[in-house]
Amino acid sequence: MSPRLFGVVALLATVIIDQSDKLWMLFVYRISEHQPVHLGPFLDLIVAWNPGVSYSLLRATSDLERYLLLALAFAAIVLLFVWLWRARSRTTAFALGLIIGGAIGNAYDRWAYGAVADFFRFHVGDLSWYVFNLADVAIVGGVALLLLESLFPTAFARPKRQEDPVLSD
């Protein structure tokens, strides 16, 4: 499978998994009626609507601000997709597919609901420092993979195929 196709498959899988999780949590399980659901001593399921980007930075409180965030997301998606299309390694393409898929999932939320739906809350006691969704996991995973690939290029390099020896008389 070419790197380009590999990245597009990762992108589509990310969007489908992210949006399926969000639809199930919001409309089937109805997390807002059950929250918080304690999954462990440091992890709960809740619903939190994030009108901004990471850690609620650049909060969009008006339609104009929301559309500006959507335009920024669209521009980033286009640029990342160009990078994916030119990627020569499957690792790079996979990482970019995760990032783009996560960005599309969160942008769709912002367009459809006015904010991004987050469900997973890390905490220690009452100190809560991060609420996220599967799109965020994909974005962070993709960025981490790109960083690892750039720091350790030989670990991610494909082994070269050996040529068949040419028999000579």
The whole-angstrom distance between residue 73's C-alpha and the CA centroid of its chain comes to 12
Catalytic option among 18, 44, 109, 118: 118
Catalytic option among 63, 109, 136, 164: 136
The whole-angstrom distance between residue 34's C-alpha and the CA centroid of its chain comes to 26
Residue 120 contacts by C-beta under 8 Å, 6 or more apart in sequence? 43, 44, 45, 131, 132, 133
- 21 as an active site residue: the answer is no
Residue 41 contacts by C-beta under 8 Å, 6 or more apart in sequence? none
- 18 as an active site residue: the answer is no
What is each CA distance from 112 to 66, 106, 141, in whole angstroms?
Answer: 11, 10, 25
Name the residues annotated as catalytic: 118, 136
